[in-house]
Amino acid sequence: MATVLVTAPPAQLSTGPRHHNHQRLLHILTQSATLSIPHLKQIHAQILRIAPPLDYSPETLFLNSRLLHFSSLQDLTYTLRLFSQISNPSTFIYNTLIRAYAHSRDCKEQTISLFQELLEQESLLPDKHTFPFVLKACAYLFALSEGKQIHAHVLKHGFTEDVYVNNSLIHFYASCGCSESARRVFDKMPARSLVSWNVIVDALVQMGEFDEALRMFVEMMPSFEPDGYTVQSVIDACAGLGSLSMGMWAHAYVLRKCETCANFDVLVKNSLIEMYCKCGSLRMAKQVFQQMSRRDVNSWNAMILGLAMHGQAENVFKHYDRMINEEKVHPNSITFVGVLSACNHRGFVEEGRKYFDKMVNDYKFEPVLQHYGCLIDLLARNGQINEALDIVRRMPMKPDAVIWRSLLDATCKTNENLQLSQEIAAQIMAAEGNTKTSGAYVLLSRVYASANQWNEVGSVRKFMTEKGVAKQPGCSSVEINGIVHEFFAGDTTHPQTKEIYEFLDVIEERLKLEGYVPDFSQAFLVDDADDGKGSSLRLHSERLAIAFGLLNSKPGDQIRVFKNLRVCRDCHSFTKLVSKVFGVEIIMRDRLRFHHFEDGSCSCMDFW
């Protein structure tokens, strides 16, 4: 130990009586915010001088725990050496090291091992401070089995009524995708704090259960005043759901009710920018962005990504230049995801190559799958399949199913090489393993449909049926007067179903007068009743949502439609004509991007 520790005592330490030195050391370790490792080693030397080897006094144990705490913030290796020299560590000491491991990026596995070691000590028991740190590590590692065992220990040791332990359990189950378990823990809590509510609302948002998150928020309101964390989760839920009216309410609430620091909190403003972009209101997103007194790189990223998803590539380039040259904000990897996405959404091949090279050569960022995916999709959809495939072969990582799907989707449009399409489809199926997802089969059927090989389309459908592969149902939502209405493909459950289908007939008749001819190349029957491809197209969920929106909106209102899948070519043409014939602006968000339809044209310029 002598080779590690600096033995000379710090100038301010006395070599007087043991009690006096205890007090001086305690003062240093409790009043200091941070201590360097050399200083900690000096203090450690003093502890060894004044405390016998088997000193189990509360004072000495507390000194050791504070020493562990400060060292864990800087050097876990040294912390572990300190811990190994404590002959009889208490639960408090174990908790200190468990906490250090739980907060370390690279040592979370050791958190669970150390908890197991604590359980093996005959004279020690975990306490209410032990479980939150271990559960945090399990959440980070997605260690569902281990976390469930720790939950059993929570029950065994009688901490089921502790608010903080229960909050940690909710966070753990939510991180592992177990929404029902998270909700059961929440429902059984005898007492809840605002943190409790924030945890469950945020957990539901992270799992994509946006409706339920907003419902829980409404349930919370009579008992607790929301804080900045609550409102940020609500804003994120509104972004996922596409609920502009609720998002605007949350924005107003931030300005009106939350504490002053939350009103101008950069994180909340960044969430507002993202929410407005995802809800189709670029005007409000820009307003929030322009009024920010301070912006970080995430603020710029939120605006750049939002502009990119709305197809405003030129505006993205302007924001990037302003960020770099005027405000001197250093971009990060996500910035280039946004810029490359903008190039992709507009088909700007040369610009895409330029920014990819700038990212790699000027900023020395190692491209990740998202960057490669943007560039590969950009090249493939502009007919440069061979160059895209060459990049796939040269990538340092294995391409995922998303990249292969983008290549297959591109071959749907070129219709030049059926064999290549089949080979790419096989790659998708291999990448997805045994999961019964329908994406590759649907795209392959579209390749055959584009080539007018309808027998092959039927074969794909038959194969999907035999293998139990179900096509993901199309789902579109539209918000009218603050209420979100949801429609599935072929939906007949809405109270206005009769009026919707009757009005669809009216719409189609008026569009035919404008020269509308259905495009059957991407038709894929949405139910088992084979009553024709034309019937399939008119059952697409976005048409039902548009018809409902036209029936129930006021003149001059925008109609905002949010679809879970990519809009098909025929529905895109259909919506363009609807915007012209009925004089309405329709904003549609599909799985990839936004389309702004107005006066018979679309902001994507028919490239999506």
pLDDT band at 94; cut points 50, 70, 90: confident
Kindly state the percentage of the chain with pLDDT values over 70: 85
The closest of 452, 456, 399 to 428, measured between CA atoms, is 399
Superfamily, domain 295-399: Tetratricopeptide repeat domain (1.25.40.10)
* Mean pLDDT, rounded, of the chain: 84
Nearest to 543 by CA among 487, 582, 605: 487
Cβ neighbours of residue 166 under 8 Å, at least 6 residues apart? Answer: 160, 185, 186, 189, 196
CA distance 303 to 338: 9
Predicted confidence band at 32 (pLDDT cuts at 50, 70, 90)? low
pLDDT digits (tens, 9 = 90+) for 61-82: 777 777 777 766 667 777 777 7
Please compute the mean of the pLDDT values over residues 137-150 and round it to a whole number: 91
Give the mean pLDDT of 436-459: 78
3-state secondary structure at position 12? coil
pLDDT interval class at 322 (50, 70, 90) = very high
Token pair of 541 as six digits: 């969920």
CB 213 within 8 A of CB 252: no
* Distance of alpha carbon 577 from alpha carbon 601, whole angstroms: 8
> Which candidate, 490, 491, 469, places its Cα nearest to that of 536?
490
Q: Are 422 and 445 in contact (CB under 8 A)?
A: no
Highest mean pLDDT pick, 152-166, 218-232, 248-262, 310-324: 310-324
Q: What is the largest CA-CA distance in the chain?
A: 102
SS3 sequence of 475-515: EEEEEECCEEEEEECCCCCCCCHHHHHHHHHHHHHHHHHCC
For residue 598, what are its two tokens?
């107005």
Q: Please give the share of the chain, as a percent, with pLDDT higher than 90.
A: 48
The full length of the chain comes to 608
Tell me the whole-structure pTM to 2 decimals: 0.79
User: Residue 216: CB partners within 8 Å, gap ≥ 6?
Assistant: 197, 200, 201, 204
d(CA 167, CA 193): 9
Q: 253-262, 368-377, 537-546, 570-579: lowest mean pLDDT where?
A: 253-262
- Cα separation of 44 and 86, whole Å? 12
Distance from C-alpha of 151 to C-alpha of 166, rounded to nearest angstrom: 9
What does the alpha-carbon distance between residue 314 and residue 335 come to, in Å, rounded to a whole number? 15
Per-residue model confidence (pLDDT) at position 531: 43
Per-residue pLDDT band for 526 (boundaries 50, 70, 90) equals very low
